[in-house]
Structure 1
């Protein structure tokens, strides 16, 4: 039993229930996540509110919102969960275990390389359990603000909140078009030549989109989105289908971009420089396992950069192996 204050007794189980409900914003979704029935979870939350002596949540429309008391208890629950996770990993180190649980949240562009790196990492430490969440940047930032995971991987950390950010990998961004696009035959393309071009872009707030908008705005070009899509695969398919130009990470091109029906345009000033960063809330103490994975990423980064550079050079030069 976790004792909060002098006379208030809350169990770890109750704190976890409230934390899950706060994160999901819905009793029904929290119950599903916790493998409980909705009436059981509602009864537990009611009992917790009675122990606290104040309402912990209220419903506005279809979404559940925490009261001020609920936010205080949920914040305490998050701190307890983090400390217990830290304790579990530190005890594992003392026992000589190579296991533990690693929780990662990454932006969807990172799915081009993070799953493979995780697989390689688990070959070295097969007892490690991994929770990987792949979302758009806005959702990953939301999880970061709530401190739901051990590490967060993105290119543009939020400026509105203090964070610790460790760059580990370059992320060159390139302009792509359908393979049969007239500009694909040019040796060089000025940014101004794209002033009337239609673009297929990621959703607003995407790190790739933000970098692309900054790059073109500095050259007097305002991007004209014809489509806004939520994944790199959807963007690639739309570009290959001739729906517009786009900006993608070189890591997302695949080993043979030409086989996807797309071409990299040699736009002057590109690749747009960006860097992948491992982000955590400022002051967060990394677990030994999270630190080990960060070290692993930094060790493997040169190989990934070489692979991305090779793909980019082939795509820009039009050198297609085997043809």
Structure 2
């Protein structure tokens, strides 16, 4: 056996993506370069690591076992690199955070200055729906999760960051003939929902149930951006977090429909497992948030607080 660290890293990325093309993109390599490294790595084993059926790449059971070993080796190499940097007086390590899809408009502002001050930190930020975020937290795969609805079946600690306001929004052609609408407006519009597992959808459904509001026509889309574009195109209206609509409202592509009892107000919380043993990086980030979160809100989210 004479495989290199680079071959291990390439093979691991191929197993994670199940695609030479995607692996090449994530590693910033060409597809031929990835194929050559994979071929050279395979030549050191008598048992196939991968197989191609049709045009799809599959990882064999043996390949999956080798990938697990490769992951441990790569993690140990990263740990050596982090320890080397720490002896030079730098805060180093990996910070792993998962955020719900709308949280991508929030979390970067709470990370930017912290990462600039600590260039030795490697960030892994995953953006997905609420169900996947909670699963990653439950499996202890991440340090923190950003959610607007706290999980009911898990023991977590929470750091409130800022308010999350959800309004009923329509496109620029919606005729606002009333200053304030009653709940009956929901019976007259096509309502666009996020997919099941989304925190935004759960919040909207709770509001509709609480107020006994029937929905006559609805669409379902699988991302916040898709919902936004559908509303702009005039396919319907939706209850959406204001945090992701700043430019569209400013440019006049979207407008808020004033409705009694709206906005729905929740709170963005950074959560972590109770009794979680933090790395020095995660501990430092917690301390940074406690010291700086109010300044961050004032600097970047004043516009948000002023919308009614």
TM-score by structure 1 length? 0.68
Distance, in Å, in 2 between the alignment partners of 1:169 and 1:94 is 33
Q: How many residues align?
A: 301
Give 1:63's aligned residue: 56
Contact 1:174–1:265 at 8 Å: present in 2 too? Answer: no
Give 2:40's aligned residue: 44
Distance 1:97 1:38, change over 3 A: closer
Give 1:205's aligned residue: 197
Distance 1:165 1:315, change over 3 A: same
Bigger drift between 255-264 and 65-74 goes to 255-264
Distance 1:157 1:59, change over 3 A: farther
- Cα deviation for residue 310 of structure 1 reads 5.9
Give matches, 1:14-93, under 5 Å: 14-34=7-27, 35=29, 37-50=33-46, 54-93=47-86
TM-score by structure 2 length? 0.71
Distance, in Å, in 1 between the alignment partners of 2:145 and 2:44 is 32
Distance, in Å, in 1 between the alignment partners of 2:92 and 2:64 is 33
- Cα deviation for residue 25 of structure 1 reads 0.8
Contact 2:3–2:44 at 8 Å: present in 1 too? Answer: yes
Distance, in Å, in 2 between the alignment partners of 1:252 and 1:184 is 26
CA RMSD of aligned residues (A): 4.5
Give 2:238's aligned residue: 246
- Cα deviation for residue 171 of structure 1 reads 4.6
Consecutive unaligned residues of structure 2, counting only runs of 5 or more, are none
Tell me the secondary structure at the aligned position of residue 64 of structure 1: strand
Distance, in Å, in 1 between the alignment partners of 2:152 and 2:68 is 22
Contact 1:143–1:149 at 8 Å: present in 2 too? Answer: no
| Deviations 1:41-89 (CA, angstroms, capped at 9, x unpaired) | 3313413543xxx433333443333333333332333334334434433
Give matches, 1:1-323, under 5 Å: 12-34=5-27, 35=29, 37-50=33-46, 54-98=47-91, 102=95, 106-125=99-118, 127-128=119-120, 131=123, 135-137=127-129, 141=133, 144=136, 153-155=146-148, 166-178=158-170, 181=174, 185-187=178-180, 189-190=182-183, 193-221=185-213, 224-226=217-219, 228=221, 230-232=223-225, 235-236=227-228, 238-240=230-232, 242-254=234-246, 257=249, 259-260=251-252, 261-263=254-256, 265-268=258-261, 270-278=263-271, 286-303=278-295, 311=303, 314-316=306-308
Consecutive unaligned residues of structure 1, counting only runs of 5 or more, are 1-7, 317-323
Contact 1:202–1:209 at 8 Å: present in 2 too? Answer: yes
